[in-house]
């Protein structure tokens, strides 16, 4: 039986938001409280979801030492931190489709990534958007893009992301502006932040944090090679987490400034695990385990299961957030809904298991199902004859550790554990002891000692797939994977070709005792002559890279070259955007003197 942390005796709490003058009286005047003869007050609270893309539990409040997340840490201290929250899919579109309906993506036919965008597919009868259900009980709904009214603001804003694998008629939200919330209470709002999703926000995240992550200090999962490229990539992920923390703080401050903090339940969580190899799109802990924090303002009577300042170890599925949000709003989740209420006056029975699955992602056809209990994770691969790293051009382009793995494997520099990622086939079944093996590297599925556990979890998974009508058993029509194959090839192969040719043309020229110029040039069909330049400055025991990437390829190559040839790990990368910037950086390096350059 899953161990549940029982809420301790409640203590008086102090809100993380300053007390609002006359707040309670104002709410009564506004009609948000109904005062009864027994002097109790019943209130419909506002509900705010703060959703981070591609975020694992790499936060300070989860015990991760190399990242500073003071605003989320404070939210956890003043709220409840859930240690065992899991999404139902390890990639955004099926996960978000499940989240907004309270249904497993596999039950309602939305399990394939970026599917049903223009084929007229509608949700099954009886399945509805969360926002439609909330509107019926008086809630105004929002997916916030504009956090301020400043049209020039580019950092403190949401994305408005939906990314659902179904068609929706009408407007799923009433507004995308924060300024509409105060005058439309009670409200349900979500704010989606992209920092931890690879792309421009990820690439520039270090510009928005005061203390950048140190690549030399980060902890690398053992299935990755301990290499400068890996460390640089992981450090940038942590920078993105810290930039995200700033945005969360901005939203919490905005609640306070607008007088909404005392009447708004805040739920923070990730839409799937981190965007790393074996993370996003892979249904391991690293792809499904997400942070979740619930903050209930002290002015509202909390549900019995809530005790501020505690950690709740119950197994939570992301679709439970949906059901629980309805309960907080005073609505009863419909019987069809598969999510369970974990906070409320009529909570569901605690989960003994959480389930997840992965299906086609872009051009990569796959089907994996998984279940975990309080200790073990069981995984079933329906295409064991295929390699673990099936071709996915998006990942080849955006995940620098993927080509690094292949390069190091060719040189015989991977450990046995790391080579597993490049295996040509996969086991049909996987079983991991998450207590003794949190990184899930020792497959126990073939062990006689764990046979009974494997058989039990296998039977539990079979029953779940049957009971929930897992539609993944029927493959997509072949023209759909073919469309994505052609789309991905057209979109990424020219870029990958450029990346490879620039890598092949790498030259590193020594300019002085401590300065090297990195030059890559190539004639690329459709692009002409392409150049990528960088400057490496050796400063004591470390190096600084002043980099002008056309792609990430020459950054990756130079990081590896510095470590292997100079014996000097790169401690700082300064991105620039033109050849002139590169020359300017070289001049600045000479003027400053390599040993006096700041490495922080």
DSSP H helices in 164-295? 200-203, 228-257, 285-288
Q: Where would I find the beta strands (DSSP E) of 361-475?
A: 368-372, 376-381, 429-433
Which of 275, 216, 190, 289 minimizes the C-alpha distance to 241?
A: 275
Q: Where are the domains of the chain?
A: 45-351, 368-482, 504-596
**What pLDDT does 357 receive?**
98
Cβ(307)–Cβ(313) below 8 Å = no
- Fold of the domain spanning 504-596: Metallo-beta-lactamase; Chain A (3.60.15)
Whether residue 190 has pLDDT greater than 50: yes
| Tokens 């708004």 belong to residue | 264
Which of 169, 157, 173, 170 minimizes the C-alpha distance to 100?
A: 173
Mean pLDDT of 165-178: 96
CA atoms of 237 and 197, how far apart (whole Å)? 9
| Tokens 């394939």 belong to residue | 112
**What pLDDT does 534 receive?**
55
Whether residue 18 has pLDDT greater than 60: no
CA atoms of 216 and 227, how far apart (whole Å)? 10
| List of residues 6+ apart from 186 with CB closer than 8 A | 32, 44, 45, 46, 47, 138, 139, 140, 263, 329
Residue that wins the pLDDT comparison between 199 and 522: 199
Cβ(51)–Cβ(193) below 8 Å = yes
3-state secondary structure of 515: strand
Which stretch of 221-235, 417-431, 566-580 has the lowest confidence by average pLDDT?
Answer: 566-580
Mean pLDDT of 392-420: 91
CA 360 distance to own-chain centroid: 19
CA atoms of 574 and 406, how far apart (whole Å)? 27
Whether residue 424 has pLDDT greater than 70: yes
In degrees, rounded to 5, the angle at the alpha carbon of residue 288 between the alpha carbons of residues 282 and 294 is: 160
Mean pLDDT of 195-220: 92
The neighbour count for residue 24, using CB atoms within 10 Å, is 16
Whether residue 11 has pLDDT greater than 60: no
> Phi and psi for 72 in degrees, rounded to 5?
-70, -35
Whole-prediction pTM: 0.83
> Phi and psi for 43 in degrees, rounded to 5?
-130, 145
Q: Do 504-596 and 45-351 have the same topology in CATH? A: no
Cβ(295)–Cβ(16) below 8 Å = yes
CA atoms of 4 and 570, how far apart (whole Å)? 45
3-state secondary structure of 338: coil
> The domain at 45-351 falls in which architecture?
3-Layer(aba) Sandwich (3.40)
3-state secondary structure of 504: helix
59: left (phi over 0), alpha (psi -120 to 50) or beta: beta
Whether residue 418 has pLDDT greater than 70: yes
Mean pLDDT of the chain: 84
**What pLDDT does 272 receive?**
98
Residue that wins the pLDDT comparison between 560 and 597: 560
Q: What percent of the chain has pLDDT over 90?
A: 68
């Amino acid at each position: 039986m899953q161990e549940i942390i029982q809420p301790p005796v409640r203590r008086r709490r102090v809100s993380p938001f300053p007390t609002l003058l006359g707040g309670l009286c104002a709410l009564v005047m506004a009609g948000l409280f109904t005062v009864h003869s027994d002097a109790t007050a019943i209130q419909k609270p506002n509900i705010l979801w703060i959703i981070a893309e591609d975020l694992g539990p790499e936060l300070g409040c989860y015990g991760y030492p190399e990242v500073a997340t003071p605003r989320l840490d404070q939210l956890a201290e003043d709220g409840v931190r859930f240690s065992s929250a899991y999404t139902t899919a390890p990639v955004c579109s099926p996960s978000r489709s499940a989240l907004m309906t309270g249904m497993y993506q596999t039950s309602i036919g939305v399990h394939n990534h970026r599917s049903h965008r223009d084929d007229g597919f509608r949700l099954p009868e009886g399945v509805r958007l969360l926002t439609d259900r909330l509107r019926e009980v008086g809630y105004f709904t929002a997916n916030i893009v504009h956090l301020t009214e400043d049209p020039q603001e580019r950092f403190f804003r949401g994305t408005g992301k939906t990314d659902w694998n179904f068609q929706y008629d009408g407007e799923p939200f009433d507004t995308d502006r924060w300024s509409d919330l105060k005058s439309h209470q009670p409200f349900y709002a979500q704010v989606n932040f992209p920092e931890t999703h690879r792309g421009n926000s990820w690439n520039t995240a270090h510009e928005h944090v005061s203390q950048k992550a140190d690549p030399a200090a980060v902890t690398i999962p053992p299935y990755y090679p301990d290499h400068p490229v890996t460390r640089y990539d992981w450090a940038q992920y942590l920078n993105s987490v810290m930039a995200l923390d700033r945005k969360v703080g901005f939203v919490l401050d905005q609640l306070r400034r607008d007088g909404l903090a005392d009447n708004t339940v805040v739920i923070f969580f990730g839409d799937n695990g981190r965007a790393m190899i074996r993370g996003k799109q892979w249904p391991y802990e690293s792809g499904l385990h997400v942070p979740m924090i619930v903050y209930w303002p002290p002015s509202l009577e909390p549900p019995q299961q809530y005790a501020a300042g505690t950690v709740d170890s119950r197994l939570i599925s992301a679709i439970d957030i949906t059901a629980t949000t309805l309960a907080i709003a005073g609505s009863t989740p419909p019987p069809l809904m598969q999510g369970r209420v974990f906070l409320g006056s009529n909570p569901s029975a605690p989960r003994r298991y959480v389930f997840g699955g992965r299906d086609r992602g872009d051009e990569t056809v796959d089907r994996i199902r998984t279940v975990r209990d309080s200790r073990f994770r069981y995984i079933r691969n329906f295409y064991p004859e295929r390699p673990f790293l099936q071709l996915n051009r998006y990942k080849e382009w955006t995940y620098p550790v993927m080509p690094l793995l292949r390069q190091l494997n060719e040189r015989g520099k991977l450990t046995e554990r790391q080579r597993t990622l490049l295996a040509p086939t996969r086991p049909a079944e996987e079983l991991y002891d998450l207590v003794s093996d949190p990184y899930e590297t020792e497959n126990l599925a073939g062990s006689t000692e764990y046979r009974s556990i494997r058989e039990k979890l296998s039977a539990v998974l079979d029953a779940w797939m049957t009971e929930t009508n897992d539609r993944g058993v029927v493959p997509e029509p072949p023209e759909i994977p073919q469309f994505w194959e052609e789309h991905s090839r057209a979109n990424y192969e020219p870029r990958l070709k450029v990346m490879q040719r620039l890598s092949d043309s790498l030259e590193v020229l020594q300019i002085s005792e401590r300065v090297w110029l990195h030059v890559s040039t190539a004639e690329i069909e459709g692009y002409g002559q392409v150049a990528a330049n960088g400057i490496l400055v050796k400063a004591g025991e470390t190096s600084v890279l002043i980099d002008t990437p056309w792609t990430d390829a020459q950054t990756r190559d130079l990081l590896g070259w510095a470590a292997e040839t100079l014996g000097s790990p790169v401690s700082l990368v300064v991105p620039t955007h033109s050849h002139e910037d590169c020359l300017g950086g070289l001049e600045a390096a000479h003027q400053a003197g390599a040993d006096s350059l700041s490495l922080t």
